[in-house]
Structure 1
Amino acid sequence: MVITVEIRKMYRYPFQHVVDMHLNKYPNPLEENVRDIKTVEEKKDITGIIYRRRIATCNNVLPGILRKVHLVNVDDVYLEEESWLDRKQKTMNIRSRCLTWTQLATLQEVSTFRESTANPNWTEFWQTGSVTVTGIGRLNRLFELFAHSFFSRAVRKSVNVMDTILEQRYGCPCS
């Protein structure tokens, strides 16, 4: 079974502010589960699109009962984020995936930031995430239920973190 989570958000800040904040928001005290993020590749193509590949080191948030499955009982979880930033078109596309449990599950997200068509001082954000657990046998459904609950909360928290640090840095949202 595939578990999906979707979100759509309008940030009332200009595209450049929102994208810069996304690229620099971790680690921070508002999100204790992301401990480190490193850019491992960055290049600009002839059209000016900036490609970045980053690896995030996160805490393993699985509860103890699920960690009884030996393969998931690790301290660090690694996530890969690839992004394509087009400053001219004011869009950034992101593809993220979990590198840690690939033999057990597929965890991935696709996100887009773009300048709003309603107001050029605002930024539209879309994100779709999915989890498919396949390698744990009879426990697949239990892991899927946990994943759905966790990712739903994590997406809301991530948006709240962005809102908070945007407001701290740039003040109240522009209208």
Structure 2
Amino acid sequence: MAVTCRAQPSIFRSSYGKQYPSPMDKHVMAVETVEEKTDLSTGIVYRRRIATCKNVIPEILRKVSALKVPDIYLEEESWLNMQKRNMSMKTHCLTWTQYASLSEESVFRESLENPNWTDFTQKGRISVTGAGLLNRVLEAFAQSFLKQGVKKGIKIMETLLQEQCG
């Protein structure tokens, strides 16, 4: 699934930093920056953050002991290049790595149509391989939840942008 939207670069960056945690999404409980550094030769700012999210897997599927965890942890890495006016991000799940792979890639870059705007593209992938007969059920649930999460994330971003832009 891929999504694209536009906003002014400075507004987009400041809004993205405020996106989570937020009362608009009760599933993301905390986001902690665990590493941040700037490459002095290129000016690229690298950030690594860990998000703590509520486990939203339905109770019926939590009968599987590995799925009974209270929280899910996601790692987000981002590279901000102010000279080229772009930012790329990669997010992956740190929980259940032996059973599933969940990743998301986002790119913010200067629009070809108008250099004062930013194009935002987001792609996500899910693969469940270590849960035996539940692979397909869990993968279908995860894909559905990811699609809902992307829509909710865009709605939150739109709300924050409207608040900043008026």
TM over 0.5, yes or no? Answer: yes
Q: Is the 8 A contact 1:14 1:120 kept in 2?
A: no
Gaps of 5+ in 2: none
- Aligned partner of 1:44 among 23, 32, 38: 38
Gaps of 5+ in 1: 1-5
Q: In structure 1, what residue type is equivalent to 2:84?
A: Q
1:55 aligns with 2:83: no
Pairs within 5 Å for 1:22-171: 22-45=16-39, 46-171=41-166
**1 CA distance for matches of 2:96 and 2:113?**
40
**1 CA distance for matches of 2:50 and 2:86?**
21
Superposition TM-score, scaled by structure 2 size: 0.96
Aligned identity (percent) is 48
Q: Is the 8 A contact 2:98 2:130 kept in 1?
A: yes
Aligned length: 165
Q: Which whole-Å deviations, capped at 9, do the CAs of 1:94-116 have from their partners, x for residues lacking one? A: 01000011011011111101121
Higher relative contact order at CA 8 Å, sep ≥6: structure 1 or structure 2? 1
Q: In structure 2, what residue type is equivalent to 1:163?
A: E
Instruction: Tell me the SS of whatever aligns to 2:56.
Output: coil
Q: In structure 1, what residue type is equivalent to 2:132?
A: G
Q: Is the 8 A contact 2:11 2:164 kept in 1?
A: no
Q: In structure 1, what residue type is equivalent to 2:140?
A: L
